[in-house]
């Protein structure tokens, strides 16, 4: 009987040992599977797209040049001829802005016996507050709005908008008046205190709201006849808004001849964009003698030369 009892005692013990080993192996195997699955999940997360938006690149320029010192003295004497070599007029007057890292400008005025010349330059550094839109793209959009305001061929104020639509009156002339163009440009910039409309003009003060700068009834703000009392033969194609090559990333020129009750003036505007900076040059010549039409060629050449000089200042 004793051997039988021993067999009964041995067999259950072996079964318990086998059960423990089986459970242990199962636990080890389950832990290994769980760890592998967990690691696989982590690897997938690393290799996949997190879905977070990628911030757009910042603009090239972080600061702006000092506006009144950005024009060479020799250039100023060419643009504003007739003053003494050391005349204070060449010092210029800085325009008031709220942040000189974002916008700066300067104005010059020279009165002579043959008339008055005005020069205004404006630098605006565009910053995008949308992380998905780069500073350059934001500046390009703002530049296009300025181009559309003067009816530059091919320019659109917004994507999908036909060229020149939405800003004209549809009354004859292909270009709006100079003051209307400046107001549109100022409105699109989103920064106050530096619009060219603040510059006082002979024959019509802008301060009291009684400016006579607009062309008289029945005349166009731009000389589209090609000839004038003085025999000036500037063609409509030369005076019309046009793009400029080899000047920054984008550039255009606008030329308008405007007759008022008090005289006549030609206004040449050059706007160019270099990365995230937009520069505007306004170069005007006024005369109380309506038989003397300011030269389109002279003003345009001088304004373009100055624009080339300013692009170099930005890169210094």
- Residue with tokens 């008031």, as numbered in its chain: 96
pLDDT tens digits for range 233-263? 444 556 779 999 999 999 999 999 999 988 9
Average pLDDT on 36-65 reads 65
By residue count, the chain amounts to: 316
CB 61 within 8 A of CB 138: no
**Gap between the Cα atoms of 34 and 92, Å rounded:** 76
**Gap between the Cα atoms of 165 and 149, Å rounded:** 9
pLDDT tens digits for range 55-67? 788 889 999 999 9
pLDDT for 56: 81
pLDDT for 37: 45
pLDDT tens digits for range 257-303? 999 988 999 999 999 999 999 999 999 999 988 888 999 999 999 99
Where is mean pLDDT largest: 128-137, 178-187, 206-215, 219-228?
128-137
Token duo for residue 137: 């793209």
pLDDT for 249: 95
CB 139 within 8 A of CB 59: yes
Average pLDDT on 14-19 reads 54
Average pLDDT on 167-175 reads 35
CB 128 within 8 A of CB 140: no
């Amino acid at each position: 009987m004793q051997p039988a009892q021993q067999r009964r005692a041995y067999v259950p013990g072996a079964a318990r040992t086998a059960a423990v080993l089986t459970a242990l192996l199962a636990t080890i195997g389950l832990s290994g599977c769980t760890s592998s699955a967990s690691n696989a999940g982590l690897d997938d997360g690393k290799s996949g797209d997190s879905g977070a938006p990628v911030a757009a690149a910042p603009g090239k320029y972080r600061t702006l040049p000092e506006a009144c010192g950005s024009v060479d003295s020799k250039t100023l004497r060419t643009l504003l001829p007739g003053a003494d070599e050391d005349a204070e007029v060449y010092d210029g007057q800085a325009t008031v802005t709220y942040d000189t890292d974002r916008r700066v400008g300067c104005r010059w005025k020279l009165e002579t016996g043959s008339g008055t010349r005005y020069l205004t330059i404006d630098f605006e550094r565009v910053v995008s507050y949308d992380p998905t839109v780069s500073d350059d793209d934001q500046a390009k959009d703002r530049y296009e709005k300025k181009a559309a305001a003067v009816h530059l061929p091919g320019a659109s104020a917004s994507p999908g908008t036909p060229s020149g639509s939405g800003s004209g009156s549809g009354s004859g002339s292909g270009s709006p008046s100079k003051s209307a163009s400046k107001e549109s440009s100022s409105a699109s910039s989103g920064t106050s205190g530096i619009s060219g409309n603040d510059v006082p003009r002979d024959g019509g003060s802008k301060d009291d709201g009684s400016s006579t700068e607009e062309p008289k009834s029945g005349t166009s703000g731009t000389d589209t006849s090609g000839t004038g009392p003085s025999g000036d033969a500037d063609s409509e194609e030369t005076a019309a808004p046009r793009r400029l090559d080899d000047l920054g990333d984008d550039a255009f020129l606008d030329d308008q001849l405007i007759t008022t009750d008090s005289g006549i003036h030609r206004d040449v505007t050059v706007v160019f964009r270099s990365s995230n900076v937009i520069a505007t040059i306004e170069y005007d010549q006024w005369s109380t003698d309506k038989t003397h039409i300011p030269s389109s060629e002279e003003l345009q050449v001088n304004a373009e030369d100055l624009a080339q000089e300013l692009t170099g200042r930005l890169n210094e």
